[in-house]
Amino acid sequence: FNTWANSVLKVASKVFQVEDASNTEPTIATQYRLAPVKETNEPPLCEALSKIHKKNVVQSKLTKQSNLQSQTSDRKTLLVELDISQNKEALQYSPGDHVAVFPANSPAQVAAIIRRLTDAPPGGQLVRLEQSNEQAADGSYKWVTESQLPDVMSLERALTHYVDISSCPSQDVLEVLAQSANNNKEQQTLLKMVQNDEVYETWKLSRCPTLADTLALFPSVQVPAPVLLQHVPVLQPRYYSISSSP
C-alpha cells in the first residue's frame, strides 16, 4: 500500500502541477542557519509546544502506566493515569474524549545525532532557525524566520521535544542525507532509496531505523544542523481515549 500511495502522490503532483521538492537542487549548506539570539532563557516547554501545535498544552504528572494485554500477547494497550489536580480548569473533558500526550526523544539518540552534525552550536546556546531564498549582488543573504519551531530554542531541546527523530526517516530526509554524504557508495545507496519506492519500503519495514540508526549505517554523512531541523518533521503527540469521568 505504501509503495502505491507514494506513486499516486507523485502522479497527482504532476497532474496538479505541484512542485516536487525532491527535484530541486537546494544549496543546503547556505539556505538555512541557526542564528544566536539575545534572549537568555528558553520559553516554558508547554508554551512552546502550544505555539507549535496550536493546542492548549499543560503539564500533568504521570502517576501510573500499565499494559492491559497479557504477557503472551504481541499487542500492547497502555493504561495511562495522569494527575491533573493542578490543571482542572484548563482540562475540561468528557468520557470518550481524547487527551494528547507529548513524548520526548531518547537522550542517547539526541546525543548520537548531535555528534554527527557539522555545525552544532555549543551546548545550551539559544538560537533561531532562519532561512534565505534571496541573495544580493554582493553574495549576502536576506535571512527570515519561517519555521514551525520556536524563535528561541536550544538544539538539545529541539531534538528532544520538537522534531521526530525516533521514526524512520522519510525519503525527503534520506535525500538530505545523500547530499551530505562524503562516500560515493553510501550516497548512491541513499539515492536509490529516495528514487525507488519499493527499495525504500523494503528497507523501512525490515529495519525500522530511527534517524540515529540511519546515520550509524552511513558514517560518511555529516549533516548541517539547521538543514536537519528544517527537514525532519515535527514530533507529534500520542492520543489516548479518556475512560474516566471528570
For 205-232, write each residue's pLDDT tens digit: 998 999 999 999 999 999 999 999 999 9
Given a cut of 70, whether residue 7 has pLDDT beyond it is no
Report the range of poorest mean pLDDT among 94-98, 106-110, 112-116, 207-211.
94-98
Residue 26: pLDDT over 50? no
Cβ neighbours for 163, distance < 8 A, ≥ 6 positions apart: 149, 229, 232, 233, 234, 235
Cβ neighbours of residue 136 under 8 Å, at least 6 residues apart?
142
Distance from C-alpha of 76 to C-alpha of 132, rounded to nearest angstrom: 45
Q: What is the pLDDT of residue 141?
A: 79
Q: Number of helices and strands (H, E) in the chain? A: 10, 7
pLDDT tens digits, one per residue of 139-149: 777 888 878 89
Spatial separation of the C-alpha atoms in residues 170 and 38, rounded to whole Å: 34
C-alpha cell at 94: 468528557
User: Which runs of E-coded beta strand occur in 77-137?
Assistant: 78-83, 98-101, 126-131
Contacts of 148 (CB under 8 A, 6+ apart): 52, 234
Residue 79: its pLDDT value, please? 87
Worst-scoring range by mean pLDDT, 24-38, 42-56, 228-242? 24-38
- Angstrom CA distances, 67 to 77, 81, 101, stand at 5, 12, 17
* 228 contacts 117 by C-beta, under 8 angstroms: yes
| Percent residues over pLDDT 70 in the chain | 87
Q: What is the pLDDT of residue 5?
A: 55
β pairing state of 238-241 and 153-154:
unpaired
pLDDT at 21: 42
225: cell is: 544542523
Amino acid at 126: L
Between residues 29 and 76, the one the model is more confident about = 76
The pTM of the full predicted model, rounded to 2 decimals, is 0.81
pLDDT of residue 29: 44
The stretch 13-19 carries a mean pLDDT of 49
User: To which H or E segment does residue 4 belong?
Assistant: helix 2-15
pLDDT at residue 59 greater than cutoff 80: yes
Mean pLDDT lowest for which of 68-82, 107-121, 160-174? 68-82
Give alpha helix (H) positions in 196-238.
197-207, 211-217, 225-231
State the pLDDT at residue 208. Answer: 92
Query: Residue written as cell 499516486?
Result: 8
CB 221 within 8 A of CB 213: no
Higher-confidence residue of 166 and 4: namely: 166
For residues 25-34, give the mean pLDDT.
62
In terms of Cα–Cα distance, which of 98, 107, 90 is closest to 237?
98
Residue 6 pLDDT: 56
pLDDT, mean over the chain: 87
Which residue, chain included where needed, has cell 549548506?
A: 29
- The secondary structure of the chain in percent helix, strand, coil, rounded to multiples of 5, reads 35, 15, 45
